[in-house]
Amino acid sequence: MIEVGVVRRNISTDYDKQAEIIEGEPAATEERVVNQCSERDISLLTASIKKNPHSGLFSWSSPENPDMKFSGLDQNLLEVFRGQRILVLGDSTMWNFYGWMYQLLVYSPLSLARFHLSTANKVLMRRSGCHYPADPHPQTAGVVCDKLGPQHLQHQLEGTRLDDGTWVKYSNTACSLQEENVVETRTNLIRDFRPNIIVANIGLHLLHFQDYGRDTNECHLEKWINYEGWLEDIVVAAENAGTEYLLFKTTNSICSKRYISKFVQGTKSYTRKRTKTISRCIASVREGTALTIGTNAIRDYCKNGIFNDVGSQHLNRRLFKFVDARKNSTSIKLAVFNDHDVQSCVYTPKGDGRHYHMLNLVRIRILANLLNCMN
Q: Per-residue pLDDT tens for 305-320? A: 999 999 999 999 999 9
Percent residues over pLDDT 90 in the chain: 59
**Which of 254, 256, 262, 267 has the alpha carbon at shortest distance from 356?**
254
What pTM, to 2 d.p., does this model score? 0.87
Per the CB < 8 A criterion, the answer to whether 357 and 96 are in contact is: yes
Q: Over the stretch 323-336, which tens digit does the pLDDT of each residue have?
A: 999 999 999 999 99
Q: Is 55 helix (H, G, I), strand (E, B) or coil?
A: helix
Per the CB < 8 A criterion, the answer to whether 204 and 303 are in contact is: no
Q: What is the pLDDT of residue 25?
A: 47
**Which of 348, 211, 339 has the alpha carbon at shortest distance from 267?**
211
> What mean pLDDT, rounded, does the chain reach?
84
Angle, CA of 343, 348 and 349, to the nearest 5°:
170
pLDDT class of 213 with cuts at 50, 70, 90 = very high
pLDDT class of 136 with cuts at 50, 70, 90 = low
The mean-pLDDT minimum among 31-35, 189-193, 250-254 falls in 31-35
Per the CB < 8 A criterion, the answer to whether 9 and 333 are in contact is: no
Q: What is the pLDDT of residue 20?
A: 47
Per the CB < 8 A criterion, the answer to whether 226 and 301 are in contact is: no
Sign of CA dihedral 224, 230, 262, 270: positive
Q: Is 371 helix (H, G, I), strand (E, B) or coil?
A: helix
**Which of 33, 86, 84, 28 has the alpha carbon at shortest distance from 55?**
28
Find the mean pLDDT for residues 130-146.
60
Per the CB < 8 A criterion, the answer to whether 70 and 59 are in contact is: yes
Q: What is the pLDDT of residue 153?
A: 39
Partners of 6 in beta bridges: 33
Q: What is the pLDDT of residue 24?
A: 44
- The span from the CA of 356 to the CA of 348, in Å, is 5
Q: What is the pLDDT of residue 252?
A: 97
Per the CB < 8 A criterion, the answer to whether 370 and 342 are in contact is: no
Per the CB < 8 A criterion, the answer to whether 278 and 295 are in contact is: no
Q: What is the pLDDT of residue 99?
A: 83
Q: Over the stretch 43-94, which tens digit does the pLDDT of each residue have?
A: 999 999 999 999 999 999 888 887 788 999 999 999 999 999 999 999 888 8
**Which of 62, 63, 64, 10 has the alpha carbon at shortest distance from 32?**
10
Q: List CB contacts of 185: < 8 A, sequence separation 6 or more.
A: none
Find the mean pLDDT for residues 128-156.
55
Q: What is the pLDDT of residue 159?
A: 79
Find the mean pLDDT for residues 248-253.
98
- The span from the CA of 115 to the CA of 73, in Å, is 9
- The span from the CA of 26 to the CA of 222, in Å, is 52
Q: What is the pLDDT of residue 140?
A: 52
